[in-house]
Amino acid sequence: MKDTLFDEWNVVKKEIDKKDIILKFKQRDIFFINLGQNIGYEQHGKGKEFLRPVLILKKFNSRFFLGVLLTTKPKNNQFYYKIGENSYAILSQIRTFDAKRLRYFVKRLNDNKFFEVIAKIENLLPKRESGLTSNFVKNIIPQKDKNSKYIWFDLVTPKSVLFFKPMIDKLKELNYNILVTAREGSGYSEVVELLKLYKIDFINRGVFGGGDLRDKLEASIHRQKELMELVSEYNIVKLICLSSVDAVRVAFGLGLPVCNFYDIPLSDYKTNFKKALPQARLTIPLATKMFKPFVVPDEVILRFGLEKEQIFEYNFIDPLIWLKDFKYDETYVKNIYKRYNIDRSKFTILIREEEYKASYVDKKYPFLYEALPEIYQKFDANIIIIPRYESDYLKKEFPFAYVLEEKIILQHLLKDVDLFIGGGGTINTEACFLGTPTISTRSFISHYDKWQIDNDLMVWTNNKDELMQYVQDARDKKLIVNIQAIKNMTIDLDQIIERCIS
């Protein structure tokens, strides 16, 4: 049995050693790690990935740390110390680890409990007059430079990653320290995958709550506590976010200035406040400065309780901030088609479902799902689907479609396809900018949706028959995008940054 486990671990270990992406970690973090199958009385990992939790005692550098292993099954002796509900530090199992072993973050241990663990370790060490143990404690606790100031970005949606990346890059060029936080969860890793794809350093705190309101609330409460503990360790001077409820609540509670951006305060293009989105209700009133695109009337923001001087307008549609320097890569797209064995000589349609687990969406619009088999058959089309959440149900529901498995730089594919059908907002606008005929199947029309429809950038429908006609128009090249409406816009990133940090 042991020989088999050693052989299985050897296979896993080789794959771990090939990892390019290393998770960020800090002292006091608890992670599950790929511990492996070890020797004699050494602790082993469990399951196919040989996992076990570890408490990080000392970060030597970004790739190497000292940790103490944890267990749920204590023994009645001095080498086991309780650190939480059903969680014990094995004080005799302390060793160094490479960060490639880090699998996923669990939580950060609070200061008091962490120092209790350190004290227990100190008590196990030999005593002598030279004070070895006190030096050990001094060396294991790094001293933070309290004078280093940080600008905090909380990125919890794919759009926020894309929107703030140019700003983060520019601020780093100006020698500002940046703290980026994010979240993920079961069936929702899109944000984290994007951060990794664009090589943005981040710290994960909290999880996505899913589609159930109670689960959302519980996840939000826990995440706020984790964010509060994290940012309290930094000298944060400002939060910049795209209406991140948890981060805004924490920043406001800690007295930190909030620069909030939002382009969709209402699920409506008028001023009907019965359509105000929860994110808007919970963040805009707490903003120190509120940034919005020109398509959102000042009246909407003022009705959330802000003063006129707190509102800052910019004269472009949000996706332009990351698309203005976009350069199409035909080879990149051809490689995607090759990986999925897609015949590009066919009429090719890219699909993005609506964010139906979001709190502002009432239901999934079934007409798009009902229409897909008919579109596939009638037009002999390639149907490529970008999953928003889990992909397995899409594969089962639409076996004729190509469901993208990995995170890609989507804009290259978006530029190449013949038609984009989108249930959201951001990728719809990207498609318009790139000149791709676009059909919106979103369950509502926002201010910037309305602007794009009025300016012949895209069409909108909420029924199957009209959708089929628009697809026919695209097939016949009658769905023309008025790209000049967007191309004439200019972006002054320096001005936005100046207004944020002043």
Name the token pair of 197.
């794809």
Compute the distance between CA of residue 437 and CA of residue 457 in angstroms, rounded to an integer. 8
CATH number, domain of 392, equals 3.40.50.2000
Residues found in the chain: 502
Asked if 57 and 63 count as a contact pair (C-beta separation under 8 A), the reply is no
Report the CATH number at residue 59: 2.30.30.110
Last residue of a domain, one of 120, 140, 160: 140
What is the C-alpha separation between 120 and 57, in angstroms, rounded? 13
For residue 17, what are the domain limits? 2-140
Q: 188 burial class (0-12, 13-18, 19+ CB within 10 angstroms)?
A: middle
pLDDT at 357: 44
Crossing angle of helices 111-124 and 132-140, rounded to 10°: 150
**Measured torsion, CA atoms of residues 200, 203, 207, 213, in degrees rounded to the nearest 10:** -80
H-helix or E-strand spanning residue 447? helix 447-454
Task: Give the pLDDT score at 325.
Answer: 87
Q: What whole-number distance in Å separates Cα of residue 18 and Cα of residue 392?
A: 27
Asked whether residue 168 falls in the same domain as residue 298, the answer is yes
Residue 358 and residue 268 in one domain: no
| The last residue of a domain, from among 121, 140, 159 | 140
Element holding 367 (H helix, E strand): helix 366-379
Alpha-carbon distance 259 to 249, whole Å?
A: 12
Q: Which residues contact 496 (CB under 8 A, 6 or more apart)?
A: 167, 291, 312, 314
State the CB neighbour count (10 A cutoff) for residue 456: 15
**212-262 pLDDT, tens per residue?**
888 889 989 999 998 998 888 889 999 999 999 999 999 999 999 999 999
Helices H / strands E in the chain, number of each: 19, 19
Query: Do 257 and 135 lie in a common domain?
Result: no
Burial status of residue 363 (CB atoms within 10 A of its CB: 0-12, 13-18, 19 or more): exposed
Q: Given CA atoms 154, 155, 160, 164 in this order, what sign does their dihedral have?
A: positive
Burial of residue 296 (number of CB atoms within 10 Å: 0-12, 13-18, 19+): buried
With both helix axes pointing from N to C terminus, report the angle between 190-197 and 158-173 in degrees, rounded to the nearest 10.
30
In a 3-state reduction of DSSP, which class is residue 300? helix
DSSP-derived 3-state class of residue 344: coil
One domain, residues 171 and 133: no
Same domain, 417 and 478: yes
SS3 for 417? coil
Give the residue from 105, 140, 175 where a domain finishes. Answer: 140
**What pLDDT score was predicted for residue 146?**
55
B/e letters for 376-411, b = 16+ CB within 10 Å, e = fewer, are beebebbbbbbbbbeeeebeeebeebbbbeebbebb
Examine the domain organization and report whether 367 and 430 are in the same domain.
yes
Q: Are strands 289-293 and 258-261 parallel, antiparallel or unpaired?
A: parallel
227 and 314: one domain? yes
First to last CA, the chain: 65
Side-chain half-sphere exposure of 320, counting CA atoms within 13 A: 19
Q: Are residues 135 and 28 in the same domain?
A: yes
Please tell me whether residues 157 and 66 are part of one structural domain.
Answer: no
d(C-alpha 282, C-alpha 247), whole Å: 11
Judging by beta carbons within 10 Å of its beta carbon (0-12, 13-18, 19+), is residue 326 exposed, middle or buried?
middle
Count: domains in the chain: 3
Residues 198 and 76 in one domain: no
Among 398, 233, 434, 227, which residue's Cα sits nearest to residue 319?
A: 434
Report the interhelical angle of 447-454 vs 426-433 (nearest 10°). 30
Residue 432 CA, chain-centre distance (Å), reads: 24
Q: What pLDDT is stored for residue 201 in this prediction?
A: 80
Residue with tokens 């009025």: 454
In tens, the pLDDT along 194-214 reads: 888 888 888 888 887 776 888
Instruction: Print pLDDT tens along the chain (502 aa).
Output: 566 777 787 888 888 888 777 888 988 999 999 888 877 767 777 888 888 999 999 988 889 999 999 998 888 888 899 988 889 999 989 999 999 989 889 998 887 788 778 878 877 776 544 444 445 555 554 444 556 789 999 999 999 999 999 999 999 899 898 999 998 766 667 888 888 888 888 888 888 777 688 888 998 999 999 899 888 888 999 999 999 999 999 999 999 999 999 988 888 888 888 888 889 999 999 999 999 999 999 999 999 999 999 999 999 989 999 998 899 999 999 999 999 999 999 999 999 977 644 444 444 557 888 899 999 999 999 999 998 767 788 888 899 999 998 888 999 999 999 999 998 888 999 999 999 999 999 888 999 899 999 999 999 999 999 999 999 999 999 999 998 888 788 899 999 999 999 8
Assess whether 348 and 241 both reside in one domain: no
Q: Which residue has the tokens 């109670």?
A: 214
Same domain, 447 and 419: yes
